[in-house]
Amino acid sequence: MTNIHIEHKIKSDLLDIRIDKFLRTIGVKLSRSRINLLIKNGKILVNNKIPKPSYKVKCGDTIIVDYERLTSNDIKAEDIPLDILYEDDDIIVINKQENIVVHPARGNREGTMVNALLHHTKISGGDKSRPGVIHRLDKNTTGVMVFAKNDESLTILSKQIEKRTMKRTYLALVWGNIMRKYIKIDEPIGRKISDKRLMAVTSVNSRNAVTEIRRIASFDIASMIKVKLQTGRTHQIRVHMAFMGHPVIGDDYYGKFSRSAVKDLDIDIKKHFDNIDNFMKRQALHSVSLGFKHPKTFEDMMFYAPLPKDMIDLLNRLKNLDNGV
């Protein structure tokens, strides 16, 4: 763990720049949520006062930042099984299992994908607290993801995400029968005001988020959809589907009103809903394919992760309920 102290006085006019964006320009490579938490805890001061997270810096401001940074030496290599789909000197592609977070953070120093990767191979690049990480999947989302093994690969693959040329496709089972075959959801996502751990569709301190969904199967009480992301916001698919009134099955965070998605159906709701709700122990969301150009050869690459057993079993249960079994 490294203690970081930064004191910076702004000597030029900066137009309309929020403090979180400005801090990145002076080397504070932290997420917006981490910066907001530091502000809340008084670890970031502007002119010796705690600013609002939306504060826009001005010429003459003195900014003080104090925080602890996890380094690669703090991350313990752990012998955790990995389902490796592909590996070379520059990248490693993994089929992520459920119930594992991607990288170490507060409260999750061990037992992460990065801990497992460091035991298997050498990875580097980017933030020392999460070496090799290009994108993330939620703890209980399964499926294909890629990690970089060096700085050059991380930079090139990160630019592919930024330019939206990395192709990410998901399969999900959601509550309710979606009537349209194709829907494009273009709704901004930001932190939920009443609970900062969660995200929500909101116009307050949000970023644009675009999700494309295509219905590929329908059941009495649910739908199976294929999802393509144009952006990569935190919990994006789960938030957008809950906003549409079709939350992902098994989603404890965003599925609060799951029953309302099926309340008008002319079926035995208790039999159908409770059967599925009690069965699925995580959100039924899976990263099924990932496409990108190799960071060194620039060859087009596409990887697939088969649907996990719990989602296959869920599909069979939905089919059986439709057939009265």
Active site residues: 138
Question: 36: number of CA atoms within 13 Å, CB side?
Answer: 11
Do residues 321 and 221 make contact, with C-beta atoms less than 8 angstroms apart?
Answer: yes
Instruction: Return the closest-CA partner of residue 272 out of 281, 285, 262.
Output: 262
Euclidean distance between CA atoms 23 and 8, whole angstroms = 10
How many Cβ atoms from other residues are within 10 Å of residue 129's Cβ? 22
Coil/strand/helix, residue 11? coil
Instruction: Return the closest-CA partner of residue 223 out of 263, 192, 177.
Output: 177
Coil/strand/helix, residue 58? coil
Do residues 274 and 259 make contact, with C-beta atoms less than 8 angstroms apart?
Answer: no
- Residue 183, sorted as left (phi over 0), alpha (psi -120 to 50) or beta, turns out to be beta
β-pair type (142-148, 285-293): parallel
